[in-house]
Amino acid sequence: MSRSPLLDLVFGYMPAQMLYVAAEIGVADALADGPKTSAELAAETGTHAPSLYRLLRGLTGLDVVEQKERDLFALTAEGQRLRAGAPDSIRALVRLFCGPDVWRTWGDMTETLRTGEYAWERVTGRTPFEFFESDAELSATFNEAMAEHTRAVAPGIIEAHDFARYGTVADLGGGDGTLLAAILRASPGTRGMLVDLPSGLAAAPGVLKDVADRAEIVPCDFFESVPEGADAYVLKSVLHDWDDEKAAEILRNCRAAMRPGGRVLVLEQMMPEMVTPEATGVVRNDLNMLVATGGRERTGPEFRELLESAGFTAVTPAGPLPPAGYHVIEARPA
């Protein structure tokens, strides 16, 4: 009898947790200056050396470390991405999505399918945004994870859309300003407004340091209002967090604040009408929205319907963009 490929998926939680533990205890950072033994690494990471040795052997199979001698391990090129602060780091993403809170939420998916109610609030007692707002360390991990993802997709977004067309760009829910900083660097004549809750903006002054003369940081709840006067309002990975009613509320607030001729730019992955294996990423993101926020990934027609319900007309549904299949949907007031 042939081995089912489904078994690799059944045991997929094992490498996910191995990566999470490696990121959480800082294995990559401890190996940054060269190979070390398990005892040396245990001393730096505050762990039990014999147990850590067994994890290190496992990490060799994930191409995170290389076993140079029986008990001597070095960081690989891929393992460098688990270092805090590395240019292409995914450490915060690993800590967020393989951490205990997201882990418990996905573990409650069966109840979500039975009730239609997203799991996060049922599991934690708070909405995800209330949850991360309540703890500075969790908030920092969430914000850094979002910044890591944005660094990966920002070049494709900027290549696909001419942001230099706008005098002022407002990035709503823009976190630490990673995307806005990239837009302003690429468009020297453009000014920017970074809009988010205070906890999301904590690291923004450092990120926007080199464009600070053209960037305004605006603490704001976009469900209440958004700053007036921008020529373009950017919503990257924002609308998918919310159901249609809440997403339309955000869009209506954008419309109320817009100058004549203003635009809203929706930067999102797009769900295909017919799913193929190439769409695995967006389908999994959609399931994550199902259990974590009550939001959803949307198809092209669903985006058009949502925009029209809030008083917009789509101008250019563009994309997909490498590497994450993002689309730039430009819309104007109807």
Question: What's the CA gap between 307 and 247, in Å, rounded?
Answer: 9
Question: What's the CA gap between 284 and 69, in Å, rounded?
Answer: 39
Question: What's the CA gap between 63 and 283, in Å, rounded?
Answer: 26
28 touches 85 (CB < 8 A): no
Question: What's the CA gap between 68 and 58, in Å, rounded?
Answer: 14
Question: What's the CA gap between 7 and 170, in Å, rounded?
Answer: 46
Q: Could you confirm whether 240 is annotated as catalytic?
A: yes
Catalytic one of 149, 161, 240, 327: 240
Cis amide linkage into residue 323, ω under 30° from 0: yes
Question: What's the CA gap between 216 and 170, in Å, rounded?
Answer: 9
CA-to-CA separations, 14 to 10, 36, 52, in angstroms, rounded: 9, 24, 15
Amino acid at 198: P
**Residues with catalytic annotation?**
240
